[in-house]
Amino acid sequence: MNKGMKWGAAVLAAGVLFGGASVTGGNVQAAPAGKTAAKQNVQPAVTLKANGKTLTQQGKIVNGNTMIPITVLRDALGLPLHYNPGTKTYSVGSGIMKLNLEVSDYGVGTNLNGYSIYDNSGSDQYEAKNLNGHLYVPFKLLGDYMGIKGTWNPSLKSLELGKQTMNKIGITSETITKTNKNASIVIHYPKVSGLGEDVEQKINAVLKEKAEQFAKSSEEQASHRDGKIEHTYDFVQNFAVTFNREGVLSIVTDQYGYTGGAHGGTFREGLTFSLKDGKQLGLDDLLKAAPDYKQKLDRMLKQKTKDTAFSDVTAGLKDQPDFYLKEGGFAIFYQQYEIAPYAAGFPTYAFSFGELLPKGTDPFAAFK
């Protein structure tokens, strides 16, 4: 669990959902929760297909979200699925795309290889569910973070599942640990392989430098801790890959620090690279076919943020917006407190390329 999201972790850790579980076949099952779960708006089943075949297991639509049984990911898509009885956690996938589901009386906590997946829009679009003793994962989470694609047939109410064609590169997680008497400092950062040496070095140098800078600044802050009255400080970095296709790689990192008080703070950064030459990309590089995109995006952001932002803030497009890529488009986000209260987290707004680019334009043409 990403320690930067303690406000959710504390609740999830309060109780254990089940006394026993099985992943031997069908849906993953768990004993009924000891607490009364919030009532879900569950609609008729969704027919699931994979590799041209109709699956025996079905999906469900819950609160408007299409939910997939986690065993479908194993049985139909070949992803490894494991259960850890010590932590009451199911894991599906591997490496940096390992989805962990921590089950308790209070719900299902979700993290991707340590990076907490959550949504601040007030919806539950990334929230896994225990439905009648079976675990389900939102398709949106699978599409946004695990490289799973889906084709929806509205007349048949069916969803064809498959795997996206990813860039042929390796991505691993490296760790810097600087824990001492004043602080726990654990920093995870990505490292790429499978590219030309010059390109690899360029990208990895940026990723490593940012991790080392955070480690250094964390040590500096911790050196001022008053051990007589202050608890040990806490610094954590985790990351997630949000797009790894079309010759482009996009990563989001969260750097969390707790030095006392009611809660810690997190700085989020989006990093997008061309795998052709290692260049770090901005929106200008992806939207250059739309010379007026800044004006359009500014208007759209002001409209989208008006109900979230502080009353004295008009949140439009910054000179250097924080963003990351996702399938079919990109997401622009604001830092904690930048435009809204702490409870709003990182206000994030998604846009499709089709909203801004001329019809038929390929934003990735220059990077393939």
Q: What is the pLDDT of residues 72-127, one digit of tens each?
A: 999 999 999 999 999 889 999 999 999 999 998 888 999 999 998 876 665 688 99
Bigger pLDDT: 116 vs 209: 209
Taking each continuous run of H as one helix and of E as one strand, the counts in the chain are 6, 22
Bigger pLDDT: 23 vs 342: 342
Whether the predicted pLDDT of 30 surpasses 60: no
Whether the predicted pLDDT of 28 surpasses 90: no
Bigger pLDDT: 133 vs 257: 257
What's the confidence (pLDDT) of residue 42?
Answer: 64
Handedness of CA 271, 7, 13, 214 (dihedral sign): positive
Burial bucket for residue 338 (CB in 10 Å: 0-12, 13-18, 19+)? middle
Q: What is the pLDDT of residues 280-306, one digit of tens each?
A: 999 999 999 999 999 999 999 999 999
What's the confidence (pLDDT) of residue 269?
Answer: 98
| Secondary structure E strands in 205-327 | 233-245, 248-258, 265-274, 322-326
**If you average pLDDT over every residue of the chain, what do you get?**
88
pLDDT confidence band for 262 (50 / 70 / 90): confident
What residue has token string 């986690």? 70
Q: Are 30 and 135 in contact (CB under 8 A)?
A: yes
Handedness of CA 218, 221, 226, 230 (dihedral sign): negative
SS3 content of the chain, % helix, strand, coil (to 5): 20, 40, 40
What per-residue string of b and e applies to 316-335 under the rule 16 or more CB within 10 Å gives b?
A: bbeeebbbbbbeebbbbbbb
Whether the predicted pLDDT of 167 surpasses 50: yes
> pTM to 2 decimals?
0.88
What per-residue string of b and e applies to 343-356 under the rule 16 or more CB within 10 Å gives b?
A: ebbbbbbebebeeb
- Tell me what the mean pLDDT of segment 34-63 comes to: 80
What residue has token string 């007026």? 292
- C-alpha span between 255 and 227 (Å, rounded): 23
Contacts of 142 (CB under 8 A, 6+ apart): 68, 73, 148, 150
Whether the predicted pLDDT of 43 surpasses 80: no
Whether the predicted pLDDT of 25 surpasses 60: no
- Tell me what the mean pLDDT of segment 175-204 comes to: 97
Whether the predicted pLDDT of 22 surpasses 70: no
pLDDT confidence band for 136 (50 / 70 / 90): very high
Q: What is the pLDDT of residues 212-235, one digit of tens each?
A: 999 999 999 999 999 999 999 999
- Tell me what the mean pLDDT of segment 225-246 comes to: 96
